[in-house]
């Protein structure tokens, strides 16, 4: 655990419920010092988070992202750190991803209607607050309409991978997601591998070769055994153990507050050094 570092946080630029300035205020008040904003398929919240952090000299924002990918089994989310926000080609790819999410979301809403579970697309857009439209926005609308009692029920019955209204997105191989981040000059890290990846040890050789530099070892609901197993894999594949709360401000029972889960300072030092000039410009001497 770390009270200083959280490398997995979401804002209204994707499926978080706090705006970047609101999240930054919470992070500063919680005593955090080094954080990464990692919205889905978007860096739109990073600049405003950096601007907001000027009010809190002890807080440093690392530009990040979370990309969704599809290995042969399960899901694989790839976090990226120390991104170049002005990379035109990278931003163009992200815009395409977001358009695909919106199209897929509309299809899910249409399918829900045929199942007798109608929600309004306009309400989904309102809940997204101009950010990337994701399945949690659809789940929120379903809870509001009383179709389901919880997020978990919405995913299990309707919009999860085995749900009645699930629509498969255009597939993105994990190796491609990693290469997109690496080509930007960022550092790719596998998010919550103990939760979504069905065959982690089978996947690791190819994604390590593609440029993966770390694993999310510290995560909100990992057991000590899971952490130990992931640390062992980090040693085996020379990967940096990373982590964070995956905070969305959704106020669900499984959510943990920022700062309660995070990597040791040593991991951030390794990331900074690997990021070179960009890492040093962002984090400086990193005195903890």
Tens-place pLDDT, residues 237-248:
999 999 999 999
Can you tell me the mean pLDDT for 258-284?
94
- Model pLDDT for residues 81-126, shown as the tens digit of each residue: 999 999 999 999 999 998 988 999 999 999 999 999 999 999 999 9
| 191-212 pLDDT, tens digit each | 999 887 778 999 999 999 999 9
Q: Are 244 and 262 in contact (CB under 8 A)?
A: yes
* Torsion angle in degrees (nearest 10) through CA of 259, 260, 266, 268: -40
Q: What is the pLDDT of residue 73?
A: 72
How many Å is the maximal CA-CA distance in the chain?
57
In the three-class reduction of DSSP (H, G, I as helix; E, B as strand; rest coil), residue 224 is classed as helix
pLDDT confidence bin for 287, thresholds 50/70/90:
low
pLDDT in tens, 137-189: 999 999 999 999 998 899 999 998 889 999 987 778 999 999 999 999 999 99
pLDDT band at 288 (very low <50, low <70, confident <90, very high): low
* Residue 194 neighbours by CB distance under 10 Å: 18
Is the pLDDT at 273 greater than 70, yes or no? Answer: yes
Q: Is the confidence at residue 129, as pLDDT, over 70?
A: yes
- pLDDT band per the 50, 70, 90 thresholds, residue 254: confident
- In this prediction, residue 274 has a pLDDT band, given cuts at 50, 70 and 90, of very high
What the chain holds in terms of domains, given with CATH numbers, is 5-93+170-283 (3.20.20.140), 94-159 (1.10.150.650)
From the list 220, 241, 266, 279, the residue with the least C-alpha distance to 81 is 279
Residue 231: CA count within 13 A, CB half-sphere: 12
Res 161: pLDDT: 82
pLDDT (0 to 100) of residue 250: 87
Residue 74 is predicted with a pLDDT of: 73
What is the per-residue pLDDT across 35-63, written as a single tens digit (0 to 9) for each? 999 999 999 999 999 999 999 999 999 99
Beta strands in the chain (DSSP E): 5-9, 34-37, 60-69, 76-81, 187-190, 214-219, 240-244
* Confidence grade of residue 33 (pLDDT, cut at 50, 70, 90): very high
């Amino acid at each position: 655990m770390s009270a200083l570092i959280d490398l997995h946080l979401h804002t209204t630029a994707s499926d978080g419920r706090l705006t970047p300035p609101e999240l930054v205020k919470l992070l500063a008040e919680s005593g955090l010092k080094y954080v990464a904003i990692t919205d889905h398929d978007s860096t739109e919240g990073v600049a405003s988070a950096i601007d907001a952090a000027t009010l809190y000299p002890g807080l440093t924002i690392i530009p990040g992202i979370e990309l969704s990918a599809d290995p042969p089994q399960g899901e694989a989310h790839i976090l990226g750190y120390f991104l170049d926000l002005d990379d035109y080609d990278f931003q163009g790819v992200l815009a395409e991803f977001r358009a695909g999410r919106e199209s897929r979301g509309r299809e899910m809403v249409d399918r829900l209607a045929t199942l007798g579970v109608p929600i309004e697309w306009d309400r989904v857009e309102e809940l997204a607050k101009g950010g990337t439209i994701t399945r949690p926005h659809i789940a929120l609308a379903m809870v509001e309409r009383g179709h389901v009692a919880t997020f978990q029920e919405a995913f299990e019955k309707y919009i999860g991978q085995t749900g009645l209204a699930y629509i498969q997105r255009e597939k993105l191989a994990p190796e491609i997601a990693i290469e997109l981040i690496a080509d930007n000059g960022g550092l790719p890290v596998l998010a919550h591998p103990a939760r979504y990846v069905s065959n982690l040890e089978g996947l690791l050789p190819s994604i390590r070769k593609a440029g993966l530099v770390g694993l999310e070892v510290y995560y909100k609901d990992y057991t000590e055994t899971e952490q130990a197993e992931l640390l062992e894999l980090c040693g085996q594949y020379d990967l940096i153990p990373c982590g964070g709360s995956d905070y969305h401000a959704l106020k669900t029972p499984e959510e943990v507050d920022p700062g309660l889960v995070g990597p040791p300072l040593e991991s951030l030092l390794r990331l900074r050094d690997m990021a070179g000039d960009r890492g040093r410009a962002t984090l400086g001497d990193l005195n903890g």
